[in-house]
Amino acid sequence: MPVNVRRAKPADAAIVAEFNRLMALETENKVLDPKVLAQGVAAVLADSNKGFYLVAEIDGTVAGQIGITMEWSDWRNGWFWWIQSVYVRASSRRLGVFRTLYERVYRLAHEDGNVIGLRLYVEENNHAAQETYRRLGMERMNFLLFHRWPM
């Protein structure tokens, strides 16, 4: 089954938000506020400075997604692209959907010329995802993630 990847458009907002909701529930057992989620997805789709989403389609149906946000590195004079909002529909898993999305992101980053690396964070106990990322050539970093939320 061929997987077609394209940049998400405003018309994809509902499916992107739904996939984000499902991802949070499956990976962190978190229930997201649907209104805040819809607004957040719409903001990214309306402003490429906030990031972008790619969606993967199989037979014209969205099967998965990947989100990208950007972080400037003054140390390296370039952009890190952060992989976020990864989700593949349960019925489309093990069909190469995530690999196809990841490879497209990697190619776009490489072609950009100002992107110096890809990063992502993953739940500590999500060993299946960690193994997937390793198989794609990603390495674990020696950082802990801290935050202060809400503000």
- Bridge partners of 10, per DSSP, are none
In tens digits, the chain (151 residues) has pLDDT values of 799 999 999 999 999 999 999 999 999 999 999 999 999 999 999 999 999 999 999 999 999 999 999 999 999 999 999 999 999 999 999 999 999 999 999 999 999 999 999 999 998 988 999 999 999 999 999 999 899 989 8
Residue ranges and CATH numbers for the domains of the chain are 4-135 (3.40.630.30)
How far apart, in Å, do the first and last CA atoms of the chain sit? 45
Nearest to 48 by CA among 18, 68, 73, 26: 68
Model confidence, pTM = 0.94
